[in-house]
Structure 1
Amino acid sequence: MPTQIDPKPASQGAGPGMAFGLFVALIASLMAVTPLGIDSMLPALPEIGRSLNIATENHQQWVIAIYVFGFGAAQIVYGPLSDSYGRKPILVVSLLLFSTMSIIAGLSQSFEALLAARLFQGIAGASGRVLTVSIVRDCFSGRQMARVMSISFMIFLAVPIMAPSIGQLIMLLGSWRLIFFFLAGFAGVVVIISGFLMHETLHPEYRRPLSARAIGQGIAQTLRERTALGYMLAMTLIFGSLMGFINSVQQIFADIFHAPKWFPAVFAGVGLSMAVSAFINSRIVERFGTRKVSHTALLGLIGVSAVHVVVAMTRHETMLSFAILQWATMFCFGLIGSNFGSMAMENVGEIAGTASSVQGFVSTCGGALLGLAIGQAFNGTVVPLALGFFLLGLAALGVVLITERGKLFRAHHAARATEPALH
Structure 2
Amino acid sequence: MSAPPNAEFQPAVTWHRPVWVLAALLATLSSLGPFAIDTYLPAFEGIAQGLATTPVHLQQTLSGYLAGFSVMMLFHGALSDSFGRRPVVFVGLAVFALASVVCATASHVGVLIAGRVLQGMSCGAGIVVGRAIVRDLFAAVHAQKLMSQITLFFGAAPAIAPIIGGWLFAGFGWRAIFWFLALVAVSVLVLAARTLPETLPPERRQPFTPLALSRGYWQVVSDKRFLLLTLAAGVPFNAMFVFILSAPMLLGHHLKLAPTQFFWLFCWGISGIMGGAWASGRLAGRIPRERQVRWGFGILLVVAFVNTLYHAFVPANVFSAILPVGLIGFGWSMLAPCVTLLVLDRFPERLGLASSLQACLASLSNAIVAGLVAPIAMASVAGLALASFVLGFAGWAAWKLYRMDVRRVIRSEQQAQQDS
Same fold by TM-score greater than 0.5: yes
Between the aligned residues of both structures, percent identity stands at 25
- Which whole-Å CA distance do the structure 2 matches of 1:315 and 1:388 have between them? 17
Q: How has the CA–CA distance of structure 1 residues 262 and 147 changed in structure 2, closer, same or farther, with 3 Å as cutoff?
A: same
Q: Which residue of 228, 231, 238 corresponds with 1:230?
A: 228
242-251 vs 44-53, which moves further = 44-53
Q: How has the CA–CA distance of structure 1 residues 118 and 311 changed in structure 2, closer, same or farther, with 3 Å as cutoff?
A: farther
Q: Which residue of 1 aligns with 2:115?
A: 117
Give how far 1:362 is off. 1.7
Q: Is the 8 A contact 2:165 2:177 kept in 1?
A: yes
Give how far 1:342 is off. 1.2
Give how far 1:378 is off. 6.9
Supply the AA of the counterpart residue of 1:283: R
37-46 vs 136-145, which moves further = 37-46
Counterpart of 2:235 in 1: which secondary structure?
helix
Q: Which residue of 199, 204, 216 corresponds with 1:218?
A: 216
Q: How has the CA–CA distance of structure 1 residues 252 and 110 changed in structure 2, closer, same or farther, with 3 Å as cutoff?
A: farther
- Which whole-Å CA distance do the structure 2 matches of 1:157 and 1:176 have between them? 25
Q: Is the 8 A contact 1:17 1:198 kept in 2?
A: no
- Which whole-Å CA distance do the structure 1 matches of 2:232 and 2:49 have between them? 38
Q: Which residue of 2 aligns with 1:280?
A: 279
Supply the AA of the counterpart residue of 2:385: A
Structure-1-length-normalised TM-score: 0.84
Per-residue CA deviation, residues 94-116 of structure 1 (Å, 9 max, x unaligned), is: 11111222333344566665444
Give how far 1:31 is off. 1.8
Is 1:135 aligned to 2:133, yes or no?
A: yes
104-113 vs 252-261, which moves further = 104-113
Q: Which residue of 1 aligns with 2:387?
A: 388
Q: Is the 8 A contact 1:25 1:152 kept in 2?
A: yes
Q: Is the 8 A contact 2:5 2:11 kept in 1?
A: no
Give how far 1:122 is off. 1.6
- Which whole-Å CA distance do the structure 1 matches of 2:377 and 2:157 have between them? 26
Structure 2: segments with no counterpart, 5+ residues: 411-420
306-315 vs 68-77, which moves further = 306-315
381-390 vs 341-350, which moves further = 381-390
Aligned pairs (5 A) from 1:222-371: 222-250=220-248, 252-256=250-254, 257-312=256-311, 316-371=315-370
Q: Is the 8 A contact 1:247 1:375 kept in 2?
A: yes
Q: Which residue of 2 aligns with 1:94?
A: 92
Q: Is the 8 A contact 1:153 1:275 kept in 2?
A: yes
Q: Which residue of 2 aligns with 1:417?
A: none
Counterpart of 1:345 in 2: which secondary structure?
helix
Q: How has the CA–CA distance of structure 1 residues 146 and 379 changed in structure 2, closer, same or farther, with 3 Å as cutoff?
A: closer
Per-residue CA deviation, residues 130-176 of structure 1 (Å, 9 max, x unaligned), is: 11011111111323211111111112212223223323333332444
- Which whole-Å CA distance do the structure 1 matches of 2:13 and 2:148 have between them? 22
Supply the AA of the counterpart residue of 1:80: A
Q: Is the 8 A contact 1:313 1:383 kept in 2?
A: yes
Q: Which residue of 2 aligns with 1:421?
A: none
Q: Which residue of 2 aligns with 1:414?
A: none
Q: How has the CA–CA distance of structure 1 residues 327 and 211 changed in structure 2, closer, same or farther, with 3 Å as cutoff?
A: same
Q: Which residue of 2 aligns with 1:203?
A: 201
- Which whole-Å CA distance do the structure 1 matches of 2:238 and 2:103 have between them? 26
- Which whole-Å CA distance do the structure 2 matches of 1:46 and 1:270 have between them? 26
Aligned pairs (5 A) from 1:63-82: 64=62, 66-82=64-80
Structure 1: segments with no counterpart, 5+ residues: 412-423
Q: How has the CA–CA distance of structure 1 residues 241 and 50 changed in structure 2, closer, same or farther, with 3 Å as cutoff?
A: farther
Counterpart of 1:166 in 2: which secondary structure?
helix
Q: Which residue of 1 aligns with 2:101?
A: 103
Give how far 1:381 is off. 4.2
Q: Is the 8 A contact 2:147 2:337 kept in 1?
A: yes
| Two-structure CA RMSD over aligned residues (Å) | 3.2
Q: How has the CA–CA distance of structure 1 residues 174 and 314 changed in structure 2, closer, same or farther, with 3 Å as cutoff?
A: farther
Q: Which residue of 2 aligns with 1:85?
A: 83
Counterpart of 2:361 in 1: which secondary structure?
helix
Supply the AA of the counterpart residue of 1:198: L
Rg larger for: 2
Give how far 1:88 is off. 0.4
Give how far 1:18 is off. 4.1
Report how many residues are paired: 404
Q: Which residue of 1 aligns with 2:166?
A: 168
Q: Is the 8 A contact 1:42 1:250 kept in 2?
A: no
Q: How has the CA–CA distance of structure 1 residues 232 and 174 changed in structure 2, closer, same or farther, with 3 Å as cutoff?
A: same
328-337 vs 363-372, which moves further = 363-372
Give how far 1:266 is off. 3.5
